[in-house]
């Protein structure tokens, strides 16, 4: 546990602190351990000191009364930098996925001296539209809209119901690259909530924070850190056009599309993504 920016953050590290630090920032309501173990091990084997953590209101990190102390994606970026301070890390390669990619962009914008490079996976610079519950200019995937409506009408009230709801969402987010593995996905979801509390609280507060956050589409052009944007062709949460637009907006960035990947990390892509990040951060 690390004290950072007025909250306590759970984190886990892999490798030698003397190696170049690589900070993994996860997305909306998801624990740091959502970053696959194999992914972390491959990065560690590549000579990186890997850090994954729970954002505030997630997993074992501090819960916050959002109504009393509202926060935005910028505040979550400040948390991440505070975590680096607590670990004694002066500069890190920053990798963010989904909402974590939004946080990573804000780290690059607000704390440019604290990152060596930026990698954004399945994310966007566009703001979220509370009317459509998706990124601006994006038509809501009907499967996700139906899932949202179901959660509002019948919110999960037990651990079992939460697991089933997340399992249904994971099935929607899976691309055609690999068949949906229900047993493995169920095990991952159960693992993530095993020691966590307030899962619904985390998701609600992160959604509020995302809605309250600024439009970065006109700001990311000022990012000077070497940037890699990775996006799946089958992403229903953030269609690949968002990844293309983000890469086009950041000077000298690299865009890596992955055919068949949805909004997640199917096992076949883990070696490819980790290799791309090691190559990018090793420049």
Average pLDDT, the chain: 92
**pLDDT for residue 200:** 63
Catalytically active residues, by annotation = 98, 235, 263
Tens digit of each residue's pLDDT (9 = 90 or more) over 213-255 = 899 999 999 999 999 999 999 999 999 999 999 999 999 999 9
pTM over 0.75: yes
Provide the CATH number for the domain around residue 27. 3.40.50.1820
The total number of structural domains in the chain stands at 1
DSSP letter (8 states) at residue 264: S
Distance of CA 244 to the CA centre of its chain: 18
Write the pLDDT tens digit of every residue in 157-172. Answer: 888 898 999 999 999 9
Task: Give 16-35 pLDDT, tens digit per residue.
Answer: 999 999 999 999 888 999 99
**Residue 252: domain span:** 2-281
Q: What confidence tier does 61 reach under pLDDT thresholds 50, 70, 90? A: very high
Mean pLDDT for the stretch of residues 90-96: 98
Closest CA to 55 of 33, 40, 22, 39: 33
pLDDT at 159: 84
pLDDT at 16: 98
Asked if 237 and 122 count as a contact pair (C-beta separation under 8 A), the reply is: yes
């Amino acid at each position: 546990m690390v004290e950072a920016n007025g909250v306590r953050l759970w984190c886990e590290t892999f490798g030698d602190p003397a190696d170049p630090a690589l900070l993994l920032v996860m997305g909306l309501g998801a624990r740091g351990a959502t970053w696959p173990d194999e992914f972390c091990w491959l990065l560690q084997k590549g000579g990186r000191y890997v850090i994954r953590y729970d954002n505030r209101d997630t997993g074992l990190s501090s819960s916050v009364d959002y109504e009393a102390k509202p926060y935005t994606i910028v505040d979550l970026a400040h948390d991440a930098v505070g975590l680096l301070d607590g670990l004694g890390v002066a500069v890190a390669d920053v990798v963010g996925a989904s909402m974590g990619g939004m946080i990573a962009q804000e780290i690059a914008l607000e704390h440019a001296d604290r990152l060596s490079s930026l990698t954004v996976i399945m994310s966007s610079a566009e703001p979220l539209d509370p009317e459509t519950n998706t990124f601006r200019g994006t038509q809501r995937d009907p499967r996700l809209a139906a899932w949202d409506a179901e959660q509002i009408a019948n919110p999960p009230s037990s651990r079992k119901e939460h697991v089933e709801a997340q399992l249904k969402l994971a099935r929607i987010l899976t691309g055609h690259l690999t068949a949906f593995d229900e047993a493995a996905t169920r095990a991952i979801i159960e693992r993530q909530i095993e020691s966590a509390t307030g899962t619904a609280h985390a998701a609600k507060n992160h959604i509020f924070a995302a809605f309250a956050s600024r439009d970065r589409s006109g700001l990311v052009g000022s990012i000077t850190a070497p940037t890699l944007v990775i996006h799946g062709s089958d992403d229903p949460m953030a269609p690949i056009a968002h990844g293309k637009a983000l890469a086009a907006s950041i000077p000298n960035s690299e865009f890596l599309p992955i055919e068949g990947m949805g909004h997640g990390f199917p096992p076949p892509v883990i070696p490819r993504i980790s290799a791309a990040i090691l190559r990018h951060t090793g420049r």
